Amino acid sequence: MNDTFKSNIASLFPTPLLRIDIPPELSTACNVFDNTELWHDKDSRMEYGLHSRNTYVMDEPECVQLKKFILDLVKDFAQNTLMYDYDEWIFSQTWVSWKEPGQQHVAHTHPNSVISGVFFYGYGEEGTPAIQFHKDEYQGTGQSIMLKQKPPEKDDQPPPFAWKTFTMPYKPGTLLLFPSHFRHSVPINQTKYTRKSVSMNIVPKGMIGDPHSLTELLFQKVL
């Protein structure tokens, strides 16, 4: 493909993902993460991992500074990247998630949420599974076509249009924010260590929609 033709290719509807390392004095302040009760839903498969019974862990008093720090980032991400016109954002739910050896989480999205996040607060050793994001080429069509891809021309990654999955590295203190419809998964933990994170769903506080078009919806957290 010549350069003239390439210059006419538009990148439509890219999906933003924010990765930031939270200061250690904030990321290690919430001891509640390691002290909360963990369980697995009897209707789900055990290999999907454990999560906390408390699904509002970021509302614990000792997490107040970390909570404010993350929600300030969310507001900036929402207003200046996603271009949402809301001044205040709230956690609808936040929960601890552990992936012990042999456990995973299949590809999924987060319904009833606008922005989702993952905060990695600890892991045993390098090599515990990262998070993978997936390209939904046939979302909603029920189609799945296995196509052979041309290898890259150089010894590097294929161009972004050819990516099917993207693995995002992390370390303790890493925070990821992304639109809740962005499909993601956790590969099988093939180490002897536990992968520890906090998942979060986030919505704008207050009324969204329009009363004249009968689309009003109120987001107001009550505990």
Sign of CA dihedral 71, 62, 20, 202: negative
Distance of alpha carbon 14 from the chain centroid: 16
Domain boundaries 14-139+153-219, corresponding CATH code: 2.60.120.620
CA distance 20 to 220: 27
- Reported as a single tens digit per residue, the pLDDT across 190-214 is 888 888 899 999 999 988 888 888 8
**Amino acid symbol at 183:** R
Structure pTM? Answer: 0.86
pLDDT for res 49: 82
pLDDT tens digit sequence for 55-104 = 999 999 999 999 999 999 999 999 999 999 999 999 999 999 988 888 88
pLDDT tens-digit profile of 131-141? 899 887 655 55
| Domain boundaries of the chain, sorted by first residue | 14-139+153-219
Question: How many CB atoms are located within 10 Å of the residue 110 CB?
Answer: 22
The strand pairing partners of 117, in sequence order, are 177, 200
Both ends of the chain: CA-CA distance in Å? 58
DSSP 81: T
**What's the number of CA atoms in the CB half-sphere (13 Å) around residue 157?**
9
